[in-house]
Structure 1
Amino acid sequence: MKRGLGFLAALLFALWTATAQALVSFTVSDIRLEGLQRVSPGLVFRNFPVNTGDHITDGRLAEAIRKLFKSGYFDDVSAARDGDVLVLQLRERPAVSLIRLEGNSVIKDDDLMKGLEQSGLKEGEVFKRATLDRIRLDLVQIYTNQGRYGADVSTEVETLPGNRVAVNLTIDEGDEARIQHINIVGNNAFSDEELKELFEMELPDFWSFYTKSDRYAREKLEGDLERLRSYYLDRGYVNFSIDSRQVSISPDNKSIFITINVSEGDLHTVRDVDIAGEMVVPESELAELLRLESGDIYSRKELNKGRDALIKRIGDDGYLFANVSPVPEVHDDKTVSIRYYLNPGKRTYVRRINIKGNTRTTDDVIRREMRQMEAAIASSEKIEQSKVRLEKTGFFAEVNVETLPVTGTEDQVDLTYSVVEQQSGSLAASVGYSQGDGVLLGFSIEQDNFLGSGKNIGISITSTDSTTEYSFKSRDPYYTVDGVSRGYEVYYRKRDFDEDDTSAYSTDEIGAGMNFGYPIDDFQRLNFGATLEQVSINTAQQTPQEVTDFLASEGDNYLNLIGKFSWRDNHLNRGLLPTRGYSQSTSLELALPGSDLSYYRLQYNLKAYKPINEDETWIATGWSRLGYGGEFGSNRYPFYKHFFAGGMRSVRGFKANTLGPKDTPTAGNEAEPFGANLLITGGLELIFPTPFTAGSGKVRTLAFIDAGNVFSTDCATGSTGCDEGVELEEIRYSTGLALSWLTPLGPLSFVLATPLNEKDGDETESFQFTFGRTF
Structure 2
Amino acid sequence: MKRIAALLLLASLSAKAFAFDPFVISDIRIDGLTRISAGTVFNYLPVSRGDRMTDAMAQRAIRALYQTKFFSDVEMERDGNILVIKVVERPSIAKLTIRGNKDIKTDDLMKGLKSIGLAEGETFDRLALDNVQQELIRQYYNRGKYSVTVIPHVVKLERNRVAIDIEIREGQVAKIKEISIAGNHAFTDKAIRDDFELGTPNWMSWYSKNDQYSQDKLKGDLEKLQSYYMNRGYADFGIDSTQVTIAPDKQSMYIAADVKEGEVYKIADVKLLGTLVLPEATLRQLVFVKPGEVFNRGAIEASTKAIKALLANIGYAYAKVTPYPKLDKEKRTVDLTLYIEPGQRVYVRRVIFQGNTLTEDNVMRREMRQLEGSWYSQALIDRSKIRLQQLGYFKKVDIDKKRVPGSDDQVDVTVKVEEQSAGSLQFGVGYSQYSGIILSASVSERNLFGSGDTVSVGGERSAYYTRYNATYYNPYLTDNGVGIGYNLTYSKTDYNDVDNGEFADYSTSQRAFSTYLGIPITDFQSLRAGIGLSSNKVNSIPGYTPQQLIDYQDEIGHDTVHSVIGTFGWSMDTRNGYWAPTRGGQLSVSSEVALPSSTVKYWKLTTQANHYWPIGHGFVLYLNGVVQYGQTYGQNGISDDQLEALQKASLAADPNHVITDMRNDFPFWENFYSGGVTDVRGFQDNTLGPRLCGGTGTVAPNSGSYCNNSYYNYAQPIGGALKVLGTAELYLPLPFLKDVNTARVSWFVDTGNAYANWDSFTPKTLRASTGLSLHWQSPMGPMIINFALPFRTQPGDGYYEERIQFTFGSTF
TM range (shorter): 0.7 to 0.9
Tell me how far 1:742 sits from its aligned partner.
3.8
Residue by residue, what CA displacement relative to the aligned partner does 1:234-276 show, whole Å, maximum 9, x if unpaired? 3322111111112223333332222111111112222233423
1:51 partner letter: S
User: In structure 1, what is the equivalent of residue 670 of structure 2?
Assistant: 641
The sequence identity of aligned pairs, in percent, is 38
The aligned counterpart of 1:260 is 257
Matched, 1:559 2:557: no
CA distance in 2, matches of 1:754, 1:215: 35
The 8 Å contact of residues 468 and 490 in structure 2, kept in 1 or not, is answered as: yes
Change (3 A) 1:655 1:181: same
Moved more, 164-173 or 758-767: 164-173
SS of the residue corresponding to residue 655 of structure 1 reads coil
Mean Cα deviation higher: 355-364 or 237-246? 355-364
Deviates more, 1:584-593 or 1:392-401: 392-401
User: Equivalent residue of 1:498, what SS?
Assistant: helix
1:348 deviation in Å?
2.2
Instruction: Give the 3-state SS of the residue equivalent to 1:235 in structure 2.
Output: coil
Per the alignment, residue 313 of structure 1 pairs with: 310
| Structure 1 position 428, deviation (Å) | 4.1
Matched, 1:214 2:199: no
Structure 1 residue identity aligned to 2:787: L
Equivalent positions of 1:88-127 (< 5 A) are: 88-90=85-87
Aligned with 1:768 (options 791, 803, 806): 806
TM-score by length of 2: 0.83
Closer, same or farther: CA 51–659 of 1 in aligned 2, 3 Å: same
Contact kept, 8 Å, 2:430 with 2:807, in 1: the verdict is no
Measured in 1, the distance between the counterparts of 2:239 and 2:556 equals 83
Residue number in structure 2 paired with 1:531:
532
Equivalent of residue 596 in structure 1, options 595, 599, 612: 599
- Summarize the alignment of residues 633-672 of structure 1 with structure 2, pairs less than 5 Å apart: 633-635=634-636, 636=664, 637-666=666-695, 667-670=710-713, 671-672=715-716
Q: CA offset at residue 689 of structure 1?
A: 1.5
Superposed, 1:109-188 pairs within 5 Å as: 130=127, 134=131, 137-138=134-135, 140-150=137-147, 176-188=173-185
For 2:598, what is the secondary structure of its paired residue? coil
Pick from 738, 750, 767: which aligns with 2:773? 738
Does the 8 Å contact 1:427/1:745 carry over to 2? no
CA contact (8 A) 1:180 1:255 kept: yes
Match of 2:548 among 546, 549, 558: 546
Q: Which amino acid is the alignment partner of residue 699 of structure 1?
A: A
2: CA distance, partners of 1:111 / 1:592: 64
Local SS of the residue matching 1:353:
strand
Aligned twin of 1:203: 200
Does the 8 A contact of 1:735 with 1:756 survive in 2? yes
Partner residue, 2:188: 191
Alignment match, 1:727: 762
Is residue 198–residue 217 contact of structure 2 (8 Å, CA) maintained in 1? Answer: yes
CA, structure 1 residues 772+196, in 2 after alignment: closer, same or farther (shift >3 Å)?
farther
1:699 to 738, 743, 750: 743
Question: Do the aligned residues in 2 keep the contact of 1:619 with 1:688 (CA within 8 Å)?
Answer: yes
Match of 2:275 in 1: 278
Decide whether aligned partners of structure 1 residues 289 and 695 sit closer, same or farther in structure 2, where only a CA change above 3 A counts. farther
- Amino acid corresponding to residue 708 of structure 1 in structure 2: G
Do 2:509 and 2:537's aligned partners in 1 also have CA atoms closer than 8 Å?
yes
Report if aligned partners of 2:433, 2:807 keep a CA contact under 8 Å in 1: yes
Query: Secondary structure of 1:238's match?
Result: coil
| Number of aligned residue pairs | 743
Q: Does the Cα contact within 8 Å between 2:484 and 2:515 map onto a contact in 1?
A: yes
Alpha carbons of 1:129 and 1:235: their partners in 2 closer, same or farther (altered >3 Å)? same
Counterpart for residue 414 of structure 2 = 416
1:211–1:627: structure 2 CA closer, same or farther, 3 Å change rule?
A: closer
- 1:608 Cα deviation from its structure 2 partner: 0.8
Alignment TM-score, normalising by the size of structure 1:
0.87
Quote the Cα distance in structure 1 between the aligned partners of 2:352 and 2:105.
Answer: 43
SS at 1:252's partner residue? Answer: coil
Q: CA deviation at 1:540?
A: 1.5
Task: Specify the code of the residue in structure 1 equivalent to 2:677.
Answer: M
**Structure 1 residue 751, shift from structure 2 partner:** 2.3
Deviations 1:62-101 (CA, angstroms, capped at 9, x unpaired): 4433544566666654433222112335566788899999
State which of 286, 291, 316 in structure 2 corresponds to 1:289.
286
Root-mean-square deviation (CA), in Å? 3.4
Q: Which moved more, 1:252-261 or 1:540-549?
A: 252-261
| CA contact 1:427–1:746 (8 Å) conserved in 2 | no
Instruction: Give the Cα separation in 2 of the matches to 1:76 and 1:439.
Output: 74
Q: SS of the counterpart of 2:397?
A: strand
Q: Which residue of 1 aligns with 2:582?
A: 579
d(CA) in 2 for partners of 1:418 and 1:569?
Answer: 26
Q: Which residue of 1 aligns with 2:704?
A: none
2: distance between equivalents of 1:147 and 1:281? 50
Seen in structure 2, the aligned counterparts of structure 1 residues 423 and 249 have a Cα distance that, compared at 3 Å, is: same
Q: Return the match for 2:334 from 333, 336, 349.
A: 336
How many angstroms does 1:381 deviate by? 2.2
SS in 2 for 1:298: coil
Could you list the per-position Cα deviations for residues 735-770 of structure 1 after superposition, in whole angstroms to 9, with x for gaps in the alignment? 112222345676443322222234443212212225
Cα separation, 1, equivalents of 2:351 and 2:404: 12
Q: Secondary structure at the match of 1:200?
A: coil
Residue identity in the other structure for 1:231: Y
Matches within 5 A, 1:133-532: 134=131, 137-138=134-135, 140-150=137-147, 176-208=173-205, 211-332=208-329, 333-424=331-422, 428-500=426-498, 501-532=502-533
Cα distance in 1 for partners of 2:146, 2:93 equals 30
Q: CA deviation at 1:31?
A: 2.3
Aligned partner letter, 2:377: S
Structure 1 residue 315, shift from structure 2 partner? 2.3
Q: Contact 1:608–1:622 (CA<8 Å) still a contact in 2? A: yes
Q: Distance in 1 between matches of 2:443 and 2:249?
A: 64
- Per the TM alignment, residue 606 of structure 1 is displaced from its structure 2 partner at its CA by 1.2
CA distance in 2, matches of 1:108, 1:55: 54
Secondary structure in 2 matching 1:262: strand
SS at structure 2 position matched to 1:265: coil
CA change 1:89–1:466 in 2 (3 A) is: closer
User: Matches of 1:707 and 1:216 in 2, distance apart?
Assistant: 43
Shift of 1:553: 0.8
Query: Quick check: 1:423–1:746 contact (8 Å CA) kept in 2?
Result: no
Can you give the 5+ residue segments of structure 2 that lack an aligned partner in the other structure? 1-17, 637-663, 696-709
Q: How far is the alpha carbon of 1:607 from its aligned partner?
A: 1.1
Asked whether the equivalents of residues 537 and 560 of structure 2 are also in contact (C-alpha less than 8 Å), the reply is: yes
Deviation at 1:109, TM superposition (A): 9.0
Amino acid at match of 1:740: H
CA offset digits 1:592-612 (Å, max 9, x no partner): 122221222111111111121
Q: Which AA in structure 2 matches 1:256? A: M
Q: Which amino acid is 1:577 matched to? A: A
Aligned-residue offset at 1:550: 0.4
Amino acid at match of 1:669: Y
Q: Deviations over 1:175-233 (max 9, x none)?
A: 54332211111112221122333332222334545654333343332232222222222
What whole-Å deviation, never above 9, does each CA across 1:263-309 have from its counterpart, x for those lacking one? 11112222233423333333322222222223333222221221121
Counterpart CA distance in 2 for 1:158 and 1:416 is 48
Contact 1:423 1:744 survives alignment (8 Å) = no
With over 3 angstroms needed to count, the CA separation of the structure-2 counterparts of 1:423 and 1:653, relative to structure 1, is: farther
Alignment CA distance shift 1:232-1:129 (3 Å): same
Which amino acid in the other structure matches residue 672 of structure 1? Answer: Q
**Structure 1 residues 425 and 736 mapped into 2: Cα distance closer, same or farther (>3 Å)?**
farther
- Cα separation, partners in 2 of 1:70 and 1:711, compared to 1, 3 Å: closer
Instruction: For 2:560 and 2:237, locate their aligned partners in 1 and report how far apart those are by CA, in whole Å.
Output: 81
Q: Is contact 1:424-1:746 (8 Å) kept? A: no
State the distance in 1 between where 2:99 and 2:489 align. Answer: 68
Q: 1:319 deviation in Å?
A: 2.5
